[in-house]
A and B are shown apart, each in its own frame.
Chain A
């Protein structure tokens, strides 16, 4: 019985007292359930809630502090404390990644830390993934990403993919040296919301324009948002080739992707 109340109270946080009063009235005869007992029950539930929140915080903290060895255990604990897998992903790991992004922007973290944050989240996801599947959690959006034809650089692109995954996007990484037809084909097949292209060379960045043209020719340009990135890719270049946005680094790219997703209607998600 206590468990029933606990579950119910966990489901509706912030209104614990009302929930308990209401549920207890349904379950017990009001006369045999004193105010004192109700108070005790309330305290227990608050405690349980606190434990659940603490467990989420621990997941977030592992992510922020790049504690790759501790995150699996933290995720397990968070699951035992009855957090949903979705909540662990979003309020634990994704929230942690957001913090990591802030630290990167502030110059406190560097690429190595971003990589470690990604590795930490990957460790956590090993534990979480089966639970997410059970909960049938829907991704924030679908992204098809790759380095354009002729370009074999992948660090930046990998980071963007990793950060997007860590924040709840479904990402299909096509790798490096990706021909334009492959971008179109995969975007269509995966029903992608966003197409991400990376190029580090001045000789390959022109290919981005060709990929966009290929989307136009295929008649699906208006169905996807195109984000581009890489050292020589400037805002002017982005506008010139008709892309929707450019990210100067992985952290900015994730922010932009979130913004781009807000341009899709509910029926398109």
Chain B
């Protein structure tokens, strides 16, 4: 097994509850890089550098996310043509999180690129589903514009597909990815979202799911049970993989997931997943990039090690103090500097102020980064400033 790099050791010491020599700085800049590269607007001094070299230049650790059958920031065909080994594989069926495996005898899966859209059709003996993804942000982001499940009746077809979905892990591909990273960060994995969140974000859309949950509760709860059961296989793959940090990747927002919904459908699920992943020696975080105020009290109960992407005011709905109070010394904050502060509209003074405050408040329980990514219009001079602020804080 490869020896931990200094960067990795610093990050892992936060998870282990140790005292890191300095706060780890692990920003996600892939989207900024890709959009500016596509537009030809990368800062001159960075134009000749590869993404990983830019991380080195910025004195920052890369958080390389495996997200479904993708590596975050790298688009595989048919969505794009970046070449990157993809360790996590949807072997058959479909997860809808960036992966559709080959159809097996019982179903046919066809993906077609039509102008700026990818149309996916799933033909099964029970009927067909169709989903449409559309490209945005200069071809560097994709959004679902047509959800596969349009009616509650479609859930039966979805269930059929899910029950025939299998996952695998390619150790060789992981090795190549790790080699590419070269110790300048860590490979983490975004696991499949929790069942209700999958319906919200990937299968039905928020409005249709909310209405279906109210009007056809039994059917919706049944599909949620199926999702959970089928996902066990995905988690078995993750548990056996070399990745140390698992992100439940739920993109939580309390405006959509109320505390009642969270307690009923997410909390027991989180507790169960956290327990099994902890037993397998993994650390578990979730992604909460929306409003989170009313969910804050539940995060500790969930059994998580940390929460990623919590966004402070004015973009989010919480203050630094409120989050610290809710997290105590138990939970790690991953990220912290609101993306808004990287925009040219925000002064360097204001930027430094929030960065210092986050470092001082969360101290050893912090993996500092941007909540949740550097926006394409983000200022690179501020990225250069962060390691200096960290350095100053480590001597304070």
Contact = CB atoms under 8 A, between A and B. Distances in A.
Interface string A108-128: 001111011001000000000
Interface string B333-373: 00000011001010000000000000000000000000000
Given A115-B207, A152-B136, A234-B314, A202 B256 contact: no
Interface stretch (B64-72, B162-170, B208-216): B208-216
Nearest to B317: A248
Given A155-B206, A203-B376, A110 B256 contact: yes
A201 B373 CA distance: 12
Give the interface centre of B143, B214, B254, B375 by most chain A CB atoms within 10 Å: B214
A150 interface: yes
16 contacts: A107-B294, A110-B261, A112-B256, A112-B261, A116-B210, A150-B136, A150-B137, A151-B136, A152-B145, A155-B207, A176-B145, A177-B136, A201-B375, A202-B377, A236-B345, A237-B345
Q: Quick one: which of A150, A231, A236 has the most chain B CB within 10 A?
A: A231
A66 B343 contact: no
Contact of B214 (A68, A153, A158, A237): A68
Given A68-B215, A111-B256, A202-B343, A232 B315 contact: yes
Contacts of B35: 203
A191 B211 CA distance: 33
Interface of B: 35, 134, 136-137, 143, 145, 206-207, 210-211, 214-215, 254-258, 261, 294, 314-315, 339-340, 343, 345, 375-377
B275 to A, nearest CB: 28
Interface SS of chain A: loop
Interface of A: 66, 68-69, 107, 110-113, 115-116, 119, 150-153, 155, 158, 176-177, 201-203, 231-232, 234, 236-237, 249
Contacts, number: 67
A116 B211 CA distance: 6
Contact of A202 (B136, B145, B207, B375): B375
Contacts of A111: 206, 210, 255-256, 258
A203 B377 contact: yes
B200 to A, nearest CB: 10
Given A115-B210, A203-B35, A232-B340, A110 B254 contact: yes
Contacts of B137: 150, 201, 203
A158 B257 CA distance: 17
Contacts of A115: 206-207, 210-211
Nearest to A69: B215
A66 B214 CA distance: 10
